[in-house]
Structure 1
């Protein structure tokens, strides 16, 4: 059984059809890239999966459960985690406390009120900071980080609750070439425990980390398959040349 299945997704905004019958299947422990020209529907598809938008038609099934009408909070509890392009770290808090808050989101109000969680979660916080090469700056404010490091911190926050599926919307936007390279290295180890859907304009980056790609154009799925298959598809090449 697939981890995620989106079937026949249509999303209409007024007179604009942003998605027109889009299908997407994500397997367990798969890295899947969404690519396509600007305005092709990538971010709308991602939002329909995450619950930020409700499709006009179609269904979204996650871990065998229909979540088409579920709220983002319900999807998060089911094991889905989302990071949008704009960072949402809390700049005045330390890196440590940003990760701690991400973990505490799954904790009961009683335990939070009694301050039982900080000690219990310490090792997990430090492990996430270590994994994303931020442990030496654990007690600095997040505002002191570079743009790329803030993106890494937010990815760490999204992974802290141990989701089954991580959704990333243009995580390398604004990064240097070196930061993009490191981001790919940081993401690779999570495949053992988490699937990934990623929207990205950097084709070199997405080719290096993804198992499969889905290409959208004008709200429709143009092609899905292995990186090699998609790259060699004449229809995909024609769309990118047309929009270049």
Structure 2
């Protein structure tokens, strides 16, 4: 990995009662790279993502983002530093239009006071940015559609667009293609590619065919530990990884 990583974890551990969900995890993510987290069910992928996001604070080890120690930082501080997350369950406001969902995300990113949001003082000034972002995620023609009426895949795209509203330096995605059709999965990969210009990505995904197509590196977890790490080609040829997936099949 050339240069300093945007994200660096060292010896991260997390327990839930007697369960050791993460056990000494090391991880480095390069700026503007796409890094996949894979592994069998219960291997610790989503727990690791939440430890990075600040939802689960590690019991041991350290988390560094853009050179800053954020091990014990609250999620709001991580967001201000440039870290954004989209969880597996869609959290769009389904009673609002697609346009207003993204507008609120942009307003919150640029004008954190509740008064500004209620008065919508920034609506006119943000119109161009809203439409540009909707176009980037193939949603411009659905701007006036109530979000509840979007397909499952389109709701996922809208939430990714909302997570990118603050132009973060790192985006965390938890199984973004779950429940999507093959066509929507392919489109999701295409829609994510342009964010490389300004944003790194850490993605948890079960669809190995999807993730190996556009990730630069993969980290394989098993039992809360790093089993292997490398390029998609290296992981595909890893005997350790093959043994785990064969055992779990």
TM-score between the two structures when normalised by the length of structure 2? 0.96
Q: Distance in 1 between matches of 2:47 and 2:118?
A: 38
Give 1:112 shift. 3.5
Counterpart among 213, 224, 235 of residue 230 in structure 1: 235
Q: Distance in 1 between matches of 2:69 and 2:128?
A: 35
Matching residue of 2:57: 54
Q: Secondary structure at the match of 1:162?
A: coil
Contact persistence 2:170–2:201 (CA under 8 A):
yes
Matching residue of 1:190: 195
1:153-203 deviations in Å (ceiling 9; x for gaps): 000100111000000000000001111011111111111110000000000
Matching residue of 1:152: 157
Aligned 1:160-171 pairs, distance under 5 A: 160-171=165-176
Matching residue of 2:226: 221
TM-score between the two structures when normalised by the length of structure 1? 0.98
Q: Does 1:122 align with 2:127?
A: yes
Q: Secondary structure at the match of 1:24?
A: strand
Q: Distance in 1 between matches of 2:118 and 2:210?
A: 43
Give 1:114 shift. 4.8
Matching residue of 1:20: 23
Q: Does 1:94 align with 2:114?
A: no
Runs of 4+ in 1 over 4 A off after TM superposition: none
Q: Distance in 1 between matches of 2:149 and 2:225?
A: 41
1:216-244 deviations in Å (ceiling 9; x for gaps): 00000011111111111100100011111
Matching residue of 1:202: 207
Q: Distance in 1 between matches of 2:42 and 2:105?
A: 32
Matching residue of 2:180: 175
Give 1:116 shift. 2.2
Counterpart among 100, 108, 116 of residue 105 in structure 1: 108
Give 1:113 shift. 5.2
1:3-48 deviations in Å (ceiling 9; x for gaps): 0001100001100000000011001010000000000000010000
Return 5+ residue gaps in structure 2 as ranges.
Answer: none
Matching residue of 1:71: 74
Contact persistence 2:108–2:117 (CA under 8 A):
no
Task: Give the superposed CA RMSD.
Answer: 0.9
Return 5+ residue gaps in structure 1 as ranges.
Answer: none
Q: Distance in 2 between matches of 1:158 and 1:194?
A: 12
Q: Distance in 2 between matches of 1:189 and 1:108?
A: 27
Q: Distance in 1 between matches of 2:226 and 2:71?
A: 19
Residue correspondences, number: 244
Q: Distance in 2 between matches of 1:13 and 1:221?
A: 19
Q: Distance in 2 between matches of 1:58 and 1:122?
A: 43
Contact persistence 2:102–2:162 (CA under 8 A):
yes
